[in-house]
Structure 1
C-alpha cells in the first residue's frame, strides 16, 4: 500500500468514527440534558466536518504535479488544518456563551450514570483512533492526519471532563459543576482552535521549519567535501509531506561545468537519501573569490593567494543568510 493510500484510509476511518460517536453523544445528551455533554456533542459535530474535509485534502495532496501546480498539491493539507482550526475556534466561542448562560441559570441533570458510561466509551475510541492518526501522520509527514488526530485527543479529553462533571453532579447534587465544566471545556477548545489556525497559517506562509533546516545543514556539514567551499541562502519549503530545498554553494571558479554539475548532483542525492519523503533540491553554484581562500579546504588549490586559516562550520544561523561567509 502506498503512503497516499494509507493516508486516505486513515482519513476515512476518522470520518466513520466521528459520525458514529456524534450519534452516541447526542443520545447521551438526550438522556442527561447536561450542558457539559452538549458541549462534547457539539464539538464532535466539528469532527465530522473536519474529518470529511481532511479526507478530501488527503486525496488532493496525493495528486501528482501538473502545469497549474508545479510544486504539487500538498499545501492543501495546511488549508485543511486551518479549516479545522477555524471551526473548532467558532465552536469554542459558542460553547463558552452557552455554558455561561447555563451557569447563570442552571437546570437539573438526569440519568448521569448512563451519560458517564456512554461518554467514557467514546473517550476510549477517540483516544485510540487519535493516537493511531498522530503516529501515522508523523511517520507519513501529513499535517492533516496529525491535526485530525490531535482533534480527536481534544474530543477524548472533553468526554473525560464531561464524565467527571456528571459524576460530581450525581455525588454532590450541585448542578453548577456541569455548566462549570462546560465553561472550562469551551475555553480549552477555543485555545486549541487558535493554535491549529496558527499552525495552518505558518505552513501556508512558508514559515521556516527550524528542525528541517537544521537537519539539512547538519547533513551537508557531515558529508562536506573540499570543493564545497561555502553554503548560504539555504531555504526549505514544505508542500504537504514533500520538501523543496534550494541553496547557493560556492565552488572553485576554475572547475569545469562538468565538474560543478557532478558536485551538485552528489549534494542533491545525499540530501534526498537523508529524508524519507520526496525531496526536490536546487543548488545554485557560485564561483569562489580570493576572499574565500582563508576558509577554503582545497589543499591542492592552484590559484590560492591567502593561506587557509580555519573552517567555517555551517549551522542554522549562518547557512540561511543570503551572504557569502568570510573571515575577518
Structure 2
C-alpha cells in the first residue's frame, strides 16, 4: 500500500489542530506556563505542516524549461523555514517563562489538565511514528522533518508532565517556569538541527558515505569492459539522487560498445537508488587518473 505525501501532510494539519485544542484546554485549566509552552509548540506544528503540504505539492511538479532538475528542493526550503519558526517559538516560550519565574504560583486543576495534555501527547506519538516511517519510505524530507519535530514535541511533553507531577508532589511552584525554560532550550536545539540538515540539502551536500560506497561497488560490479571511473559526484535532492562520474574506456572501443557499458551501470544504479538521475561522461584511456578512482580493469 502506498500513501500520497500530500494526504499525510493534510492528516498532520488536522491532527495538529486537535492536539493544539487539547493542549490549550490543558493550559487554560491549569494556568501552567510549561503547558503554555507545549501548546505554543503545537501552533508551530500546524503552520509547519501547512508549509510542508505546499512544499510537497510544489516538489511533485515535473521538470520544466525554467527548472530542468525539477522542484524537489522546495521541501528543503520548507524545512529551513520550519526550523526558523521553531526558533521563534522558543524565544516566545523563554519570555513567558522568565516572567512566570519572577512570581511562581500553584496550578489550578493539575490532575485534569495533565490528563488532557497526556491524551494530546499520545496522539502525537502515533502520528510522529507514521510520518517518520512513510517519510523515509517515500523519501520525503518535509514529511520526515515533520515526524522528527513531532517526536521532539512528544519528548518535551512527557518531560513537562513528569515535571509538573513533581511540582505538585513537592509544592515547589517554581518548577513550572523552569520546565518551560528547559522546553524552550530543547525546542531551540531541535530548530537548529532541522535547519542545519535542510541547509545541507540546499547546498548540495553529498549523501552519507555508505551510499557513496555502495555506488562505487555497483559501478565496479557492472563496469566490465571499461578501465576506470573517476570524479564521482553525488547529491541528494528530495527523492532524487544525482550521480555523475567519468568513465574511462579503451581508446579503440566503439561508441556503441561504450554506450552498452553505460546502460548496464545505469540500470544497476537505478535499481539500487530509486529515482536516481545518472550522468556518465565517457573518455578515452589517455584520460585516466590516479588517486580516488574506481578501478575497473580485470
Is the TM-score greater than 0.5?
A: yes
Given the alignment of the two structures, is residue 183 of structure 1 paired with residue 181 of structure 2, yes or no?
yes
What's the counterpart of residue 7 of structure 1? 5
Match of residue 39, structure 1, among 29, 37, 40 = 37
Displaced runs of 4 or more, over 6 A: none
Partner of residue 254, structure 1: 252
SS in 2 for 1:289: helix
Q: Residues 73 and 239 of structure 1 are in contact (CA less than 8 Å); yes or no, is this contact kept in structure 2?
A: no
Give the superposed CA RMSD: 2.1
Q: Is the alpha carbon distance of 1:197 and 1:107 closer, same or farther for their aligned partners in structure 2, counting shifts above 3 Å? A: same
Greater Cα radius of gyration, structure 1 or 2: 1
How many residues matched? 296
Query: What's the offset of the Cα at 1:290?
Result: 9.3
* In the alignment, structure 1 residue 283 sits paired with structure 2 residue 280: yes
Q: Establish whether residue 158 from structure 1 lines up as the match of residue 156 from structure 2.
A: yes
Match of residue 104, structure 1, among 97, 102, 105: 102
Q: Deviations over 1:130-149 (max 9, x none)?
A: 00100111111111111000
Tell which deviates more after alignment, 196-205 or 227-236.
227-236
Change (3 A) 1:259 1:48: same
- Kept after mapping to 1: 8 A contact 2:204/2:237: no
Structure 2 residues without counterparts, runs of 5 or longer: none
- The answer as to whether partners of 2:6 and 2:57 remain within 8 angstroms in 1 is yes
Report the counterpart of residue 216 of structure 1 in structure 2.
215
Deviation at 1:98, TM superposition (A): 2.2
- Contact 2:72–2:239 (8 Å) recurs in 1: yes
1:318 paired with 2:292, answer yes
| Equivalent residue, structure 1, for 2:233 | 235
Query: Normalising by the residue count of structure 1, what TM-score does the alignment of the two structures yield?
Result: 0.85
Please tell me whether the aligned partners of residues 223 and 265 of structure 2 are also in contact (alpha carbons under 8 angstroms). Answer: no
CA offsets per residue over residues 183-204 of structure 1, 9 Å max, x none? 1111010011001010111000
Relative to structure 1, the CA distance from residue 290 to residue 269 in structure 2 (aligned partners, 3 Å threshold; closer, same or farther) is: closer
Deviation, 1:220, is 1.5
Q: Is the 8 A contact 1:31 1:111 kept in 2?
A: yes
Pick closer, same or farther for the CA change 1:235–1:290 going to 2, 3 Å.
closer
Q: Tell me, in whole angstroms, the C-alpha distance in 2 between the residues paired with 1:146 and 1:291.
A: 41
- Counterparts of 1:298-317 in structure 2, within 5 Å, are none
Structure 1, gaps ≥5 residues long: 293-311
Structure 2 residue 27 is the aligned partner of structure 1 residue 25:
no
* Cα pair 2:40 2:89 within 8 Å, conserved: yes
How far apart, CA to CA, are the structure 2 residues paired with 1:54 and 1:319? 39
Deviation sequence 1:138-185 (CA, Å, 0-9, x none): 111111111000111011122212211221122111111111111111
Do the aligned residues in 2 keep the contact of 1:231 with 1:250 (CA within 8 Å)? yes
TM-score by length of 2: 0.93
Equivalent-residue separation in structure 2 for 1:259 and 1:67 (angstroms):
32
Shift of 1:235: 1.1
Distance 2:217 2:96 in 1: 51
